[in-house]
Amino acid sequence: MTDIHDTSTNRILVVDDDVMLIDEYLRCLGEDYEPDSATETLSELEKVLFGEETDERGAARFMVETRTQGEPAVEAVEEAVRMQQPYCIVFLDIRMPPGINGIEAAKQIRALDPDVNIVIVTGSMSSEAENLDKQVPPADKIFFFNKPFHAAECRQLAAALCGKWHADMALRRANEELEQRVEERTAALQKLAYYDLVTRLPNQLMLFNELQAMIDQSENTAGDSVVVLLDIDRFSFFNETMGFDGGTELLRSVGNRLSRNFCKEKMGLHPVIGRFGADEFVVLMPNVENDMAIRDFAEKVQQVVEEPFVIDGRDIFLKVSIGVAWHPVHGRDSKLIFRCAEAALHRSRRSLDGAITYYHSEMRYRAQHKFDMEAEFRSAIDNGQIKAFYQPQQSVETGKMAGIEALARWIRADGTVVPPCDFIPLSEQMGISDLVFETVLADVCNDIAKWREQSDWEVPVSVNLSAHQLRNADLVGLVKRVLMNKEVNRNLINLELTETALLEDLTTARPILGDLAEFGVGIHIDDFGTGYSSLSYLAELPVSTLKIDRSFVGKLADSESNTRVVQAIIALGKVMGLDIVAEGVETDQQYALVRRLGCDLVQGYFIAKPMPAEEFRRWCDGHEDTQSLKHAATVVGIDSARS
């Protein structure tokens, strides 16, 4: 097979019914042709067109075939194309009786080979040849050549058209290579855009498209298109334990197992497996018949993923949270259905039993409510609607106010109060709990500064810390900046955190609390008794006060075991030199019991409810005697009971 990319390959077909003229073609196009002095520039032209692909005398080399009629010529072109040895030029006599003429032959040849240069050889222009470029397009590949012709003219024309043919082929080859590179690059970009690099599964964008295609196809069918969205619980733990490579292998293993189990086409169904996020996978299933089949399918997905994996020779057992939504019950748009599945997945993550959560409309309402509340909450912080309410702590010995707890409240513009149980978790989810803490601490410092201007204020105020604040590396700096900016004595501020929050990361908390205590603020532990089995950590922390959890105080009168727990906490605190606060005291009986057991301070509705700053200050001025009388009456009641 001749290489058509070789510029020395110049195949020419001569078609003429005049044998003597064919001989003249063979002579002037042959290797033995000797140009006369009048045509010596021909060799220079050939060198330009063919470069070094010339013989020793500088002549281009042509491979010439001949036919005497149009029909055989057409057959020769067809065979040459089939053998991938096309002609560069076909010289066609315009009249070749008794067969088809040159024009008809040219039309048939052009249909077989769109690249060949066709030269119509004629002694005179006839009406048949008019508009030939329109009959045998394109115009740049159809030519006329008058006979009789000079041999040098024929050879020069052949050299020029062969050079043109090779140039055309090179350009076409370059365009084809360029198109191929564009296609390959487009395919690569599409893979980047629509497929996950780690698992090679469809990514989120592709999954949206696949689900929408399922929805469009299922509009006229009875089955549902189901989205099962799953999240690997504690994946960050596995990633940290096994390292990046192990975590990557685990993700690939999950994707491969899901593909093996669900990507086989069954009964005309085409399930789709994809990676939706960092540790989230999706299984899309079309035409699921009913609710029971949806449940069976979701449970099968859970079962498949929770079977053990072997990674680096170790058995890995996964737990997954799963959210499920489907078309048309939850919408007719793929993004909407995925949002529903995400809402169900969030609910499943909060579930303790790892149950599969199926989306229902209440989730959409709650999600919208949360979304609206987030926007409103940000504005509330900016507009100063987050305020400190104050609840006093009374000394059981003197009846005097000995401490205060500052409690965050959200006061809307219409005066309604949003309880902290609604917006504190929201602030943590939004990542702005540090801002809320700073806002409350600044508000407390402002109020203390006002109270000191009005009187010799010396009662310390406790501000609540959360586990999120303990993870803030700049917590100590933040507290220092606020107190210094407000010019508040550091011994008037206590920081109060729950035992559970403290023990989430004791290693991190210990140096931070040490720095805060060294600065001069007090450290209190709230809800003590509910968080930890070992109390040795107390000796390692600069704690000054323990607050007994309200759950124990509330059951003192009803449970002997609760009474023993409270006695143990108080005894522990006394041994360690700590003050003990009983919170949640709501009745005189509870007050009497915690006083008898040895608590130092009492906090709760029995003393006073949480109040805004101005109301609290009035309470301090007008109700001190009332509290002392209540305290005296309670003491008398206890003494009477003892006697």
Give the per-residue pLDDT at 148: 87
Contact 503, 537 (CB under 8 A): yes
pLDDT tens, position by position, 583-612: 999 999 999 999 999 999 999 999 999 999
Task: Please indicate, yes or no, whether residues 431 and 308 belong to a single structural domain of this protein.
Answer: no
Give the per-residue pLDDT at 201: 93
> CA–CA separation, 310 vs 246, rounded Å?
11
> Could you give the angle at the alpha carbon of 124 between the alpha carbons of 123 and 125, nearest 5°?
140
162-166, 345-349, 605-609: which has the minimum mean pLDDT? 345-349
- Over 90: is that where the pLDDT of 108 sits? yes
pLDDT tens, position by position, 118-144: 999 988 766 566 677 788 889 899 998
**Residue 189 belongs to some domain of the structure:** no
Task: Please indicate, yes or no, whether residues 86 and 114 belong to a single structural domain of this protein.
Answer: yes
* Tokens describing residue 260: 């093996």
183-187, 189-193, 233-237, 307-311: which has the minimum mean pLDDT? 189-193
Task: Please indicate, yes or no, whether residues 351 and 250 belong to a single structural domain of this protein.
Answer: yes
**Residue 5 belongs to some domain of the structure:** no
Give the per-residue pLDDT at 629: 46
**Residue 184 belongs to some domain of the structure:** no
**Which residue, among 98, 107, 100, has the nearest Cα to 90 in the 3D structure?**
107
Q: What is the mean pLDDT of residues 178-205?
A: 86
Task: Please indicate, yes or no, whether residues 328 and 374 belong to a single structural domain of this protein.
Answer: no
**Residue 178 belongs to some domain of the structure:** no
Task: Please indicate, yes or no, whether residues 587 and 547 belong to a single structural domain of this protein.
Answer: yes
Q: How many CA atoms lie within 13 A of 289 on its CB side?
A: 4
Q: What is the mean pLDDT of residues 542-548?
A: 92
Task: Please indicate, yes or no, whether residues 418 and 380 belong to a single structural domain of this protein.
Answer: yes
- Over 60: is that where the pLDDT of 410 sits? yes
Return the percentage of the chain with pLDDT > 70, whole number: 87
Task: Please indicate, yes or no, whether residues 474 and 540 belong to a single structural domain of this protein.
Answer: yes
What sign for the dihedral angle of Cα 581, 585, 590, 592?
positive
- Over 70: is that where the pLDDT of 225 sits? yes
Task: Please indicate, yes or no, whether residues 400 and 503 belong to a single structural domain of this protein.
Answer: yes
pLDDT tens, position by position, 571-585: 988 988 999 999 999
Task: Please indicate, yes or no, whether residues 164 and 209 belong to a single structural domain of this protein.
Answer: no
Burial class (CB in 10 A: 0-12, 13-18, 19+), 622: exposed
Give the per-residue pLDDT at 57: 44
| Chain center to CA of 522 | 43
**Residue 190 belongs to some domain of the structure:** no
Residue 49's pLDDT band, with cuts at 50, 70 and 90, is low
- CB 420: neighbour CB atoms within 10 A? 19
Q: Which residue type does 305 have? A: V
Report the predicted TM-score, pTM, of the whole model to 2 decimal places: 0.54
Task: Please indicate, yes or no, whether residues 305 and 402 belong to a single structural domain of this protein.
Answer: no
Query: How many residues are given for the chain?
Result: 643
3-12, 258-267, 376-385, 515-524: which has the minimum mean pLDDT? 3-12
**Residue 68 belongs to some domain of the structure:** yes
Task: Please indicate, yes or no, whether residues 351 and 377 belong to a single structural domain of this protein.
Answer: no
Position of tokens 């540090």? 434
**Bigger pLDDT: 352 vs 288:** 288
> Residue 563 maps to which CATH number?
3.20.20.450
Which of 359, 383, 409 marks a domain boundary? 359
> CA–CA separation, 251 vs 245, rounded Å?
10
pLDDT tens, position by position, 485-498: 988 999 999 999 98
Residue 641's pLDDT band, with cuts at 50, 70 and 90, is very low
The most confident of the ranges 5-9, 105-109, 270-274, 368-372 is: 105-109
The parent domain of residue 62 ranges over 11-172
Average pLDDT, the chain: 85
Count helices and strands (H / E) in the chain: 22, 22
Give the per-residue pLDDT at 365: 64
Residue 322's pLDDT band, with cuts at 50, 70 and 90, is very high
**Residue 193 belongs to some domain of the structure:** no
Task: Please indicate, yes or no, whether residues 463 and 589 belong to a single structural domain of this protein.
Answer: yes
**Residue 185 belongs to some domain of the structure:** no
> Residue 250 maps to which CATH number?
3.30.70.270
Number of domains into which the chain is organized: 3
